[in-house]
């Protein structure tokens, strides 16, 4: 390695300054934002839990044969303290879950139901009837409040992260192509909370002033621990390669321990969710187990029941809107109220999908003419056009806010669709599917899904396919609830729909 290269790599702060990246604790390193954000969450949780328990106590006080006020106040205080303690024990304040993925919400849900399960068992054993009120009132009210508060705080955190604030500084270690992939994934999505600020690559492969995807190369593997401390990195992300042996990782961990820098090992697993991954030790070696996706069993039975009950409730609640939309469609353009189209469901079975008609009659026969005049704004084999002349005036409003898809609740009730799932494909699309794409057909298509909350019509075709396959292999009931919540936000915003 040349003298110039050695000089450059020996001075990571100078390399960062040369690229206009002033390294400070407040900007990148171990800034106090974790502690401040945790305090905000804890304070909000305390208010929500106290309000939920107080509401349950008030309801209980209006019942007959209630215990004394002092006894009831003591029981309420104990329950509130236990609830907040359960949230802490279940690691719902772990900074690694802040603002990314469903794990943060899942831990809040998990801690709450476990605590109240114990309360229910204890109340049964000692015959404490008062516990019933807390189970019926405090648990649902408090749980909804806790999840809603976390959701609002996450939105606040994401807005700061889009300004490159409140992020975790990462020093990437690995081969050049591995570093490129890591930088694209982390720096390309600000809301992930991670930002690669420097790279260390194997000895002899770095050049003076070199950057990878705009991130400076600061050194090699031998100096990674020292560089992480110098630049104030919060964590070091190690990608596997022949040069990065178990001994290198072990020594790096020893170097990072005194300065409080976390060590992460990136697994080369594409689109595998956390619940399918388990690490077990065996004779001094950590084995990474990846469970095969399953497409039958009790979990799918629970999903079917949840879909039917949820669709029935939504249909009942939305019935006034369904009637009003039907009248509007019929009164503003000639033709039927509903549009029926063949779509492919689970296992390749075809069914009639329902929508409110948003186009003129005979729109399907006009596709070639419309495409030749205005082109195709859709992704892959999908035909979409932002200013499609076939769309009626009422149809534009319906499509913008996805109101035309409400009749698909009937498809869910009939068992052909789920509330959440892959996008229901056309038979013409399926006929051109490769093996990877056909995995979308292993589960029922959904009224909404990751494609709906990820960008809707603006998503590239490859990303649509990836999201659908990811969902088919990794879905969970709790994840479905998260997607439904995000769908409401996407629909109200009207983003990506036309």
- pLDDT of 463-497, one tens digit each? 788 888 888 888 888 888 888 888 887 777 665 55
pLDDT value of residue 8: 44
The CA distance from 28 to 234, in Å, is: 8
Decide if 287 is inside a domain.
Answer: no
Classify residue 125 by burial, with Cβ atoms within 10 Å: 0-12, 13-18, 19+. exposed
Tell me, yes or no, whether 42 and 104 share the same domain.
Answer: yes
Q: What is the mean pLDDT of residues 446-474?
A: 80
Instruction: Supply the DSSP symbol for 128.
Output: -
Q: Which of 439, 453, 442, 443 is nearest to 481 (CA)?
A: 453
Tell me, yes or no, whether 360 and 237 share the same domain.
Answer: no
Residue where one domain finishes, among candidates 113, 139, 161:
161
- Calculate the average pLDDT of the chain: 81
Residue where one domain finishes, among candidates 129, 146, 161:
161
Instruction: Supply the DSSP symbol for 241.
Output: B
The count of other CB atoms within 10 Å of the CB of residue 377 is 15
Q: Coil, strand or helix: which one is 481?
A: helix
The CA distance from 262 to 282, in Å, is: 24
Tell me, yes or no, whether 109 and 216 share the same domain.
Answer: no
Residue 336 backbone phi and psi in degrees, to 5: -70, 160
Tell me, yes or no, whether 7 and 44 share the same domain.
Answer: no
pLDDT value of residue 165: 85
- The H or E element that residue 170 is part of is strand 168-173
Q: Which residue has the higher pLDDT, 293 or 85?
A: 85
Tokens of 362: 């005979």
- With a cut of 60, say whether residue 30 has pLDDT above it: no
- The H or E element that residue 332 is part of is helix 298-332
Tell me, yes or no, whether 51 and 23 share the same domain.
Answer: no
Range of the domain at 113: 33-161
The CA distance from 181 to 174, in Å, is: 11
Residues making up the chain, counted from first to last: 498
Decide if 468 is inside a domain.
Answer: yes
Q: Helix-strand-coil percent breakdown of the chain, rounded to 5?
A: 55, 15, 30
Decide if 454 is inside a domain.
Answer: yes
Tell me, yes or no, whether 175 and 258 share the same domain.
Answer: yes
Residue where one domain finishes, among candidates 161, 180, 206:
161
How many domains are there within the chain? Answer: 3
Decide if 377 is inside a domain.
Answer: yes
Tell me, yes or no, whether 396 and 453 share the same domain.
Answer: yes
119 contacts: CB under 8 Å, gap ≥ 6: 79, 131, 134, 135
Q: Which of 202, 203, 183, 204 is nearest to 194 (CA)?
A: 183
Tell me, yes or no, whether 378 and 446 share the same domain.
Answer: yes
- With a cut of 50, say whether residue 454 has pLDDT above it: yes
- With a cut of 50, say whether residue 16 has pLDDT above it: no
Tell me, yes or no, whether 186 and 148 share the same domain.
Answer: no
* Dihedral sign (CA 200, 205, 210, 213): negative
Decide if 282 is inside a domain.
Answer: no
Instruction: Give the start-end residues of each E strand in 177-268.
Output: 194-200, 211-212, 215-219, 235-239, 262-266
The CA distance from 443 to 139, in Å, is: 32
Tell me, yes or no, whether 365 and 459 share the same domain.
Answer: yes
Decide if 109 is inside a domain.
Answer: yes
Tell me, yes or no, whether 120 and 240 share the same domain.
Answer: no
Taking a C-beta distance cutoff of 8 angstroms, is the pair 28, 261 a contact? Answer: no
The CA distance from 243 to 250, in Å, is: 13
Predicted confidence (pLDDT) per residue in 381-436, tens digit: 566 666 777 888 898 888 888 899 999 999 999 999 999 999 898 898 888 888 87
Give me Rg for the CA atoms of the chain: 27
Tokens of 129: 């009837």
Decide if 279 is inside a domain.
Answer: no
Top-confidence range, 103-112, 228-237, 249-258? 103-112
Decide if 253 is inside a domain.
Answer: yes
Tell me, yes or no, whether 226 and 90 share the same domain.
Answer: no
């Amino acid at each position: 390695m040349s003298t110039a290269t050695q000089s450059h790599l020996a001075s990571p702060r100078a390399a960062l300054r040369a690229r206009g990246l002033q390294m400070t604790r407040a900007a990148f390193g171990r800034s106090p934002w974790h502690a401040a954000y945790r305090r905000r969450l804890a304070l909000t949780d305390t208010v929500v839990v106290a309000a939920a328990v107080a509401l349950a106590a008030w309801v209980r006080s209006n019942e007959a044969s209630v215990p004394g006020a002092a006894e009831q106040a003591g029981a309420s205080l104990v329950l509130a303290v236990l609830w907040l303690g359960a949230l802490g024990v279940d690691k719902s304040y772990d900074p690694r879950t802040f603002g990314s993925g469903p794990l943060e919400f899942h831990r809040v849900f998990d801690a709450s139901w476990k605590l109240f399960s114990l309360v229910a068992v204890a109340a049964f054993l000692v015959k404490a009837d008062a516990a019933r009120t807390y189970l019926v009132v405090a648990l649902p009210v408090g749980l909804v409040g806790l999840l809603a508060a976390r959701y609002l705080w996450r939105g606040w955190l994401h807005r700061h992260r889009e300004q490159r604030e409140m992020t975790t500084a990462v020093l990437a270690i690995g081969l050049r192509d591995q570093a490129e992939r890591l930088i694209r994934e982390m720096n390309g999505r600000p809301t992930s909370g991670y930002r690669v600020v420097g790279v260390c690559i194997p000895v002899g492969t770095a050049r003076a002033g070199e950057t990878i995807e705009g991130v400076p190369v600061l050194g090699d593997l031998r100096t990674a621990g020292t560089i992480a401390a110098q630049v104030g990195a919060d964590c070091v992300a190690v990608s596997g390669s022949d040069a990065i042996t178990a001994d290198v990782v072990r020594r790096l961990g020893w170097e990072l321990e005194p300065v409080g820098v976390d060590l992460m090992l990136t697994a080369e697993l594409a689109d595998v969710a956390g619940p399918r991954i388990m690490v077990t030790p065996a004779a001094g070696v950590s084995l990474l187990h990846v469970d095969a996706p399953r497409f039958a069993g009790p979990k799918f039975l629970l999903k079917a029941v949840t879909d039917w009950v949820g669709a029935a409730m939504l249909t009942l609640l939305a019935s006034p809107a369904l009637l009003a939309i039907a009248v509007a469609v019929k009164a503003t353009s000639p033709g039927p109220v509903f549009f029926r189209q063949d779509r492919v469901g689970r296992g390749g079975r075809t069914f009639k999908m329902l929508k409110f008609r948003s186009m003129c009659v005979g729109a399907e026969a006009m596709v070639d003419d419309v495409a030749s005049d205005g082109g195709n704004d859709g992704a892959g084999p999908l035909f979409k056009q932002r200013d499609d002349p076939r769309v009626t005036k009422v149809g534009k409003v319906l499509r913008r806010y996805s109101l035309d898809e409400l009749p698909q609740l009937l498809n869910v009730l009939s068992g052909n669709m789920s509330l959440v799932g892959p996008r229901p494909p056309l038979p013409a699309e399926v006929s051109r599917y490769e093996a990877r794409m056909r995995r979308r057909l292993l589960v029922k298509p959904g009224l909404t899904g990751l494609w709906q909350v990820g960008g809707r019509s603006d998503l590239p075709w490859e990303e649509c396919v990836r999201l659908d396959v990811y969902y088919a292999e990794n879905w969970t009931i709790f994840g479905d609830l998260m997607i439904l919540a995000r769908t409401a936000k996407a629909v109200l915003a009207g983003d990506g729909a036309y």
